[in-house]
A and B are shown apart, each in its own frame.
Chain A
Amino acid sequence: MSDDKFDSIIVGAGPAGVAAAITMARAGLNVALLERGEYPGAKNVQGAVLYSKMLADVIPEFWKEAPLERALVDERLWVMTEDSAIQLGYKSTKFAQDPANSYTIIRVEFDKWFSKKAEEAGVTLLTGVTVSDILKKDGNVVGVKTTEGDELFADVVIACDGANSIMAQKAGLHREWSSQEVALGVKEILALPREVIEDRFGLEGNQGSTTEMIGDITKGMMGYAFLYTNKETLALGLGCALDDFQRTNIKPYDLLEELKRHPLIRRLIRGSKSLEYSAHIIPEGGFNSMPPLYTGGMLLAGDSAQMINPTHREGSNLAMASGKMAGETVIEAKKKGSFSAKTLSVYRKKLEDSFVLKDMDDHKDIEEKVRKNRDILTVYPRLACDAAHEYLLVDGVPKRDHQRRIIRRIRRERGIFQMIKDAISLRHAIG
């Protein structure tokens, strides 16, 4: 093997790329991991919630060394109007024991650590390298070309270059996404003393909470806001369908400022100092938008293949699981000595047999249903908050009159039949 030929080149040192790299390096493969940022994580944005299982499959007992923020013991959903909220949620200290079900993380710190693990496994990590094109021979992908004109060759290239994947497009695996297939998220990192965070959110030690918020805050756009607790920071952000930003001309940073001023939010972030503002698209087109996941000499994993399950806030876990399976596919192909599309098609089969494609298939219609019926994101929160308000109000009016008022209001705003239709439609979409 010549110096510039690798068993595999991975483009992108995010969760998918690093999981693939570690998997292959452990099997003795010669792996190059290319990252366009100055350091891994420099270009990456996530809320961020890390799910343990898929990382433990790559780094057993990761919780003993990974830079984790808080173990999530409290997950909240707020259904909101401009001044009120119905609060739903589940909290359990059962989730507190290591390994917790999930943790908040700071992506840059996490990505630096995770890629370091790849280097320890023998992976050649090259940072500050942007890939501009793929190299093909006889119809198969055989390498990549960088913006500086360097050419690198490998038996298999794995595209883990995220939502803005150049690789998949250059390989002709998909056209550009449409504005309906992606969401745009914006976020700020807000610093607060650790004790203040623990007091305000009712937390102990390294335990943490997440709050997802739907309702007026997105102004009828399809999306939601989130507030996650880290050790000494909060992550506050929101994401909405890009076609909604396109249609409404709402500025994402204005919306974020409005969120910070919401009477139920501002008390939670009071006195905080903003440390960072960030934004990224989220490939939320789902199962129906997924490009082919392989071609001769190339595989796609993670965001570059639209592997996001927005209903369940999952993405980086799908990336790690798919990256690992991509790595295993290359190991098997190497044993066979064949890197054809036919050989690599086993990757799709692995994903189909796993939770990755099963979950994505089950949730494939939800966005479309909500998009066709957007007002459910504002009408229902309002109705629910109004109903709760009537129910709790003690004003000398008999309860039966309050109940009648609630029913009247529902009839007027939505109608019973429409509500049943909405419920059935969403039930089917969630599967």
Chain B
Amino acid sequence: MADEPKPMTLEDKLGLLTYKNDHQSHIKIHSNDVCLKCPNKPCTTGCPAAVYVWDEAQKKLIVSYENCIECGAARMLCPYENIEWNPPRGGFGVSYKFG
């Protein structure tokens, strides 16, 4: 339909942002065993930047910390307090232009 806005993927959305990436992650998963037992893995859907992806082959949670837009939701999204999220070191991470 002519009225439909052009669909945007999450990659398109994240591509609009400016990041300064640190070589070290500001996100820590305490135990992959906890993720293994987690039934619906809300971090893999609720994170607005899809930082957390479950790799079924490796049975492992992959954390793309460099995509993090620092909303802070991950800490509470995880029902087992298995995600330790701290703000990136001074000057690193996302820089919004509009906010």
Using CB atoms and an 8 Å cutoff, list the residues of chain A in contact with chain B. Answer: 36-39, 41-46, 48, 106-109, 111, 127-130, 132, 146-148, 163-164, 166, 176-179, 181-182, 184, 186, 188-189, 233, 242, 245-247, 249-253, 257, 260-261, 263, 266-267, 269-270, 272, 274-281
Contacts and interface: CB of A to CB of B under 8 A. Distances in A.
A303 B97 CA distance: 21
Interface string B29-58: 000000000001010011011100000000
A270 B3 CA distance: 7
B73 A43 contact: no
Which of B3, B69, B72, B85 has the most CB atoms of chain A within a 10 A radius of its CB? Answer: B72
Given A36-B90, A257-B7, 13 more contacts: A36-B88, A45-B71, A129-B90, A163-B72, A181-B76, A182-B73, A186-B48, A233-B98, A246-B79, A249-B42, A249-B46, A251-B45, A266-B3
Residue of B13, B69, B91, B99 ringed by the most chain A CB atoms within 10 A: B99
Contact of B77 (A107, A245, A278): A245
A178 B35 CA distance: 19
Contacts of A166: 86-87
Given A43-B93, A130-B89, A164-B87, A276 B98 contact: yes
19 contacts: A36-B88, A36-B90, A43-B96, A44-B96, A106-B98, A107-B96, A109-B98, A129-B90, A130-B90, A148-B90, A177-B76, A188-B13, A242-B46, A245-B45, A257-B7, A270-B5, A275-B98, A280-B70, A280-B71
A43 B16 contact: no
Nearest to B14: A277
Classify the secondary structure of A's interface with B.
mixed
A127 B76 CA distance: 27
A227 to B, nearest CB: 13
Contacts of A178: 76
A279 B49 contact: yes
Contact of A176 (B7, B70, B76, B90): B76
A242 B73 contact: yes
Contact of A128 (B45, B75, B91): B91
Nearest to A188: B13
Q: What 10 A-B pairs are tightest by C-beta distance, nearest first?
A: A128-B91, A277-B13, A279-B48, A107-B99, A164-B72, A279-B71, A245-B46, A108-B99, A130-B90, A246-B42
Given A38-B95, A164-B72, A250 B77 contact: no
B68 to A, nearest CB: 10
B63 interface: no
A242 to B, nearest CB: 6
The size class of the interface chain B forms with chain A is 35 or more
Interface in B5-22: 5, 7-8, 10, 12-14, 16-17, 20
Contacts of B99: 41-46, 48, 106-108, 111, 278
B40 A249 contact: yes
A189 B8 CA distance: 13
Nearest to A249: B45
Contacts of A36: 87-88, 90-91
A129 B16 CA distance: 25
Given A129-B90, A188-B13, A266-B3, A108 B96 contact: yes
Nearest to B77: A246
A431 B48 CA distance: 34
Contacts of A130: 87-91
A37 to B, nearest CB: 6
Contacts of A45: 71, 96, 99
A261 B87 contact: no
A148 B91 CA distance: 11
Given A43-B70, A184-B71, A278-B98, A253 B48 contact: yes
Nearest to B88: A130
Contacts of A37: 95
A48 B93 CA distance: 22
Nearest to A177: B76
Contacts of A233: 98
A22 B57 CA distance: 55
A261 B6 CA distance: 9
Contacts of B7: 257, 261
A276 B16 contact: yes
Contacts of A42: 94-96, 99
A281 B47 CA distance: 11
B88 A189 contact: no
Given A107-B98, A252-B48, A132 B71 contact: no
B50 to A, nearest CB: 8
Contacts of B96: 41-45, 107-108, 276, 278
Contacts of A245: 42, 45-46, 73, 77
A43 B99 CA distance: 7
A44 B73 CA distance: 14
